[in-house]
Amino acid sequence: MRIQVITVGKLKEKFLRLACDEYLKRLSSYAKVEILEIAEEKATDTPSLGEIKWILQKEGERIQKAIRSDTYLISLAIEGKSLSSPAFAKKLNELATYGQSHLTFLIGGSYGLDPSLSKQSDLLLSFSAMTFPHQLIRVFLLEQIYRSFKINRGETYHK
């Protein structure tokens, strides 16, 4: 299975980079996982709704160019569907079983994802009704993907 994570912005904090690197290393024996960082638009200190809409559109255009046509698209969004870890593992296993060999996860920037990307997605996934920094969500996502492989293979993993 090939997994692509398209994310807006670069990881700035060293501890987040180290965590992502650790999960990417662990995942390497299960799947080919690629992280693609899309440039984040700069905003004023107090952006207007129009400026936010423009930012989402510009970031969305860059994301759109990176999405493969043959992928199953999963966007992380607060309004998405919440799944338990076993349910997420089951979903990934079903996709693999039914021939979906390429998955793409989208993580938006500070203002989320352009609505056109959410509409295009095969699944909107939420980790919580709470708001988290988009850089931290990358770590959460990689950990949950790793946990899913462990669950699906019946391998032990700490709780």
How far is Cα 101 from Cα 2, in angstroms, rounded to an integer? 6
Cβ–Cβ contacts within 10 Å for residue 111, how many? 18
Burial of 145 (0-12, 13-18, 19+ CB in 10 A): buried
Does 105 show up as a binding residue in the annotation? no
Residue 125 half-sphere exposure toward CB, CA atoms < 13 A? 26
Does 128 show up as a binding residue in the annotation? yes
Element (H, E) at 17: helix 14-27
Does 132 show up as a binding residue in the annotation? yes
Does 76 show up as a binding residue in the annotation? yes
According to DSSP, the residues that pair with 4 across neighbouring strands are: 34, 104
Which of 118, 28, 125 has its CA nearest to residue 82?
125
Does 131 show up as a binding residue in the annotation? yes
Annotated binding site: 76, 108, 127-132
Binding residues for S-adenosyl-L-methionine, by number, are 76, 108, 127-132
